[in-house]
Structure 1
Amino acid sequence: MPKDTRDVAEVNTDPVEAATGKTAVLYRMALPDHLCPSGQKARWLLERQGYEVDDRLFRTRAEVDAFKAKHGVQTTPQVWIEGERVGGYTDLREKLTDWGPKATTYRPVLYLFAVAALTAVALSIGFLGAITWQTLGWFISVSMILLGMQKLRDVESFSTMFLNYDLLARRWVPYAYVYPFIETAAGILMTGMILTWLSAPAALFIATIGAVSVFKAVYIDKRELKCACVGGNSNVPLGFVSLTENLMMMGMAIVMLWLAV
């Protein structure tokens, strides 16, 4: 345990007075049956930002309740910096980094595509001994699987976001619920290069509708929306990435149909 960690019972200094300069005061739970993960992350973030942490641990529920009543807070951990209370871990993260709970970001989809690309490369080297045109096909199909799985995590949230812009879903709501299953199944079949007569038309159908829907919403109607591509409740903006995803799916489906003829 860090040497500057103390039990709350051992501390009587006011956090406002103690939190000066690069010294931060952190109150967090370390009960016999619960070591607060947000408290651990708060300490790690403070240290990463160059703060010395006056780490004050609650050892009993009574100490936690007394602290909440005294400071008028609902949760712990609580952090003080430069004589002011910042709040909990998410408040601290927002203050010390460029993170924001509602900020738009491409990170989730970029990470997903990176994993798909590495998987495609691994499959190519492992089964074909080299990177070939099949690598690109696997990249697209594995991306479809991963994107589909993100949607399947919470189909209800995905369908709500999807209905904001998809043209077919807005006319026939059940399409928003079956879309993740079609995308995932088509990706699996295309990765295994089986049942092309089924997977390729299915992928072409959903991708074409998706591309037209995204283009209309973003480039014609000029709407600023969140993309449902990585599931509901994401902060990925609808736009170029979403359109590119659908165009790649369309391209792969067309190539597979052409080769199957």
Structure 2
Amino acid sequence: MSATLIDGKAIAAKMREEVAARAAHLADEGWQPRLVSLSVGDTSAARLYVRNQQKSAESAGVAFEARDYPYDTSLEQLSGIIQGLNADPRVNGIIIQRPLPDHIPVKTLQKLVHPLKDVEGMHPASIGNIVYNDLALGPCTAVAAVEILKTLPLDIEGLNVTVIGHSEIVGKPIAFLLMGLGATVTVCHHMTRSVAMHSRAADAVFVAVGKPGLVTGDMLKPGCVVIDIGINRVEGKTVGDVEFDSCAEVAGWITPVPGGVGPVTVATLMANAVQATEMQMNHYRDAYARTDM
């Protein structure tokens, strides 16, 4: 392997240290950051995510409460629960765990979360702000992937980047975030005629499709950055979207799966929790500040 392995765990640890300092300051001000996680139905698929989130929250000085609701909880009931959390000043962030039962449309719930408490960055307002290069609470995975690139000794301005995958919460936000930093971005998707033509010309390749082995070493420019966002289960193992061995022979830097983007995504969630708390604190102070003094 010639590529340098990007240590997502080390990046996440540094982020949590910074978040913990900000969280401690907020706690001193009477604003202890607090997240509430909502799971509905069979929570086994989300259990590992919730456990990792709780562990990361504890190390970052963020309070974390996990709530589980039965499968037959209605959309109306969940809407009421979210509205109550929106109105509760003691709650600074709301996480909607997936998967959800078929009768609960996730996008409907995401739209119900108040933008100031949208720590996952899934609300249409949060996504839309990225288009205007106004990042406040961005989608955690997309922000994490870009943060990883920013840790490398590369000048992002003018960098040629190919993003493979154009989902609303990963691929597209990554493209807009990178354009905001001055990169030249190409976005590939299932109708792209030759993905390899674009990826071979890229200084950095982001892959977020959900298809193991999609990107191979012969599709890469020597010395490029490969940031693998995919998570797939193959023969009992967790793998990404790139064929790691062949890509590692060509790339200059590469993220492993697991241990790459994943830990940084959870750390980004904690950073969003602190950012959301700071925004709410300022909002309440502005709204209720005395003007007769």
TM over 0.5: no
Q: Which has the higher contact order (CA 8 A, sep 6+)?
A: 2
TM-score by length of structure 2 reads 0.26
- The structure that is helix-richer by fraction is 1
- The structure that is strand-richer by fraction is 2
TM-score by length of structure 1 reads 0.28
Bigger radius of gyration: 1
